[in-house]
């Protein structure tokens, strides 16, 4: 699960990044409103944790711009502003939840997971598809209960497809999920990872179908 953490306090950001990574989340950090806006325009995230007091602007402007683009990514505001007007303003700007600093880490993680569950139709940490099971909290894949070891990029492709099982997932959407700030994907990278996954999944009766010009569709044998 990918989180964009928008926080300019380096100490808090480092602590949150470590804790959330330990819980199985993939973190991208943004210390400014401009970087957060750029990341949200070019990458896909499962949830945004957004501070309001940023060095180059108000976090609510990032949120308004996100919603103006009709992007439904869940946003949790995490801020020291605890006035009722601040809470109402944040929610009316398009936030899905609002927490005030200081906070309990366990509650933050619980709220983040709840937002992700709601945005993906209420799934739990384990996604089962035929003989395949994927644990999104611990980034583990198993077949008939036995571990299947996957390179991180192949895991990312599989997770993207399983989260939208039965629906077409565009190549751009997969690329955004795999994007890492310091590393660019080669032009044919997605095709390579899909090809490798196909060879692993075919013996399980699971196929990745290519819909030219649209993307990829995960199917089980017998699916219409």
Where is the domain boundary, 86, 119, 152? Answer: 119
| pLDDT for position 19 | 87
Residues 95 and 148 in one domain: no
pTM of the model: 0.62
Quick: pLDDT tens for 64-123. 999 999 988 999 999 998 888 888 888 888 999 999 998 888 899 888 988 887 776 655
| pLDDT for position 182 | 43
61 pLDDT above the threshold of 90: yes
| pLDDT for position 35 | 95
CATH number for the domain spanning 203: value is 1.10.10.10
Q: Across-strand partners of 134?
A: 127, 141
Residues 80 and 142 in one domain: no
Quick: pLDDT tens for 109-148. 888 988 887 776 655 567 889 999 988 777 889 999 999 9
Confidence of residue 221 (pLDDT cuts 50, 70, 90): confident
Residues 10 and 105 in one domain: yes
Residues 40 and 130 in one domain: no
Burial 142-159 (b: 16+ CB within 10 A, else e): ebeeeebebeebbbbbbb
Where is the domain boundary, 86, 102, 119? Answer: 119
| pLDDT for position 181 | 44
Instruction: Please tell me which residue, 171 or 78, carries the higher pLDDT value.
Output: 78
Burial 15-31 (b: 16+ CB within 10 A, else e): ebbeebeeeebbbbbbb
Where is the domain boundary, 119, 137, 170? Answer: 119
Q: Which three-class secondary structure string do you get for 130-195? A: CCEEEECCCCEEEECCEEECCCHHHHHHHHHHHHCCCCCECHHHHHHHHCECCECCCCCHHHHHHH
Quick: pLDDT tens for 9-57. 999 999 998 888 877 788 899 999 999 999 999 888 889 999 999 999 9
- In the chain, how many domains are there? 2
| pLDDT for position 171 | 86
Task: Write out the residue range of the structural domain in which residue 97 sits.
Answer: 2-119
Residues 27 and 11 in one domain: yes
Residues 91 and 133 in one domain: no
């Amino acid at each position: 699960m990918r989180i964009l953490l928008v926080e300019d306090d380096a100490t808090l950001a480092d602590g949150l990044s470590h804790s959330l990574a330990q819980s199985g989340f993939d973190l991208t950090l943004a210390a400014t409103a401009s970087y957060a806006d750029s990341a949200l325009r070019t990458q896909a995230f499962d949830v945004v944790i957004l501070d309001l007091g940023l060095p180059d602007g108000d976090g609510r402007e990032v949120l308004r711009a996100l919603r103006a683009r009709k992007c439904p990514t869940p946003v949790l505001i995490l801020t020291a502003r605890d006035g009722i007007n601040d809470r109402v303003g944040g929610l009316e700007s398009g936030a899905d939840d609002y927490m005030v600093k200081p906070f309990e880490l366990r509650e933050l993680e619980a709220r983040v997971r709840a937002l992700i569950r709601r945005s993906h139709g209420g799934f739990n940490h384990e996604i089962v598809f035929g003989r395949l099971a994927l644990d999104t909290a611990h980034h583990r894949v198993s077949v008939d209960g036995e571990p299947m070891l996957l390179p991180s990029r192949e895991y990312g492709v599989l997770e993207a497809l399983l989260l939208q099982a039965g629906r077409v997932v565009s190549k751009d959407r997969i690329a955004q999920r795999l994007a890492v700030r310091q590393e660019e994907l080669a032009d044919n990278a997605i095709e390579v990872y899909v090809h490798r996954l196909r060879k692993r999944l075919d013996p399980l009766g699971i196929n990745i179908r290519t819909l030219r010009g649209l993307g990829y569709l995960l199917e089980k044998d017998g699916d219409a």
